[in-house]
Amino acid sequence: MPHRARTDCRTTRERRRPGREVSRVKYTNPFVLVLSAIAGGAVAVAFETWLISSGQPLFLLSPVFSGTLLATAIVTLAIAWPVRRYTAAMRRVRELRRRESALDPDALDAAARAASGKRVNPERAVFALALAKASALGGAVFLGAAIGIAGMIVTRPGGFFGIEQTLLAGGCALVLLVAGLLAEFWCVLPPEDGDAEQTSNGERAAV
pLDDT at residue 177 greater than cutoff 90: yes
Give the pLDDT confidence score for residue 190 in this predicted structure: 61
Angstrom distances, CA of residue 166 to CA of 109, 149, 156 = 53, 7, 14
Q: Which has the minimum average pLDDT: 30-34, 104-108, 181-185?
A: 104-108
Tallying the residues shown for the chain, one arrives at: 207
User: Do 25 and 190 contact (CB within 8 A), yes or no?
Assistant: no
* Choice between 198 and 182, residue whose per-residue pLDDT is larger: 182
* Choice between 72 and 154, residue whose per-residue pLDDT is larger: 72
Q: Which residues does 160 contact at the CB level (< 8 Å), separation at least 6? A: 153, 154
Bridge partners, 74 (sequence order): none
Query: Which of 67-71, 95-99, 197-201 is modeled with the greatest confidence?
Result: 67-71
Bridge partners, 26 (sequence order): 203
Q: Which residues does 141 contact at the CB level (< 8 Å), separation at least 6? A: 36, 37, 39, 40
Band of pLDDT at residue 8, cut at 50, 70 and 90 = very low
Of the candidates 25, 26, 36, the residue with the CA atom closest to the CA atom of residue 137: 36
Q: Quickly count: other Cβ atoms within 10 Å of residue 67's Cβ.
A: 13
pTM, full prediction: 0.74
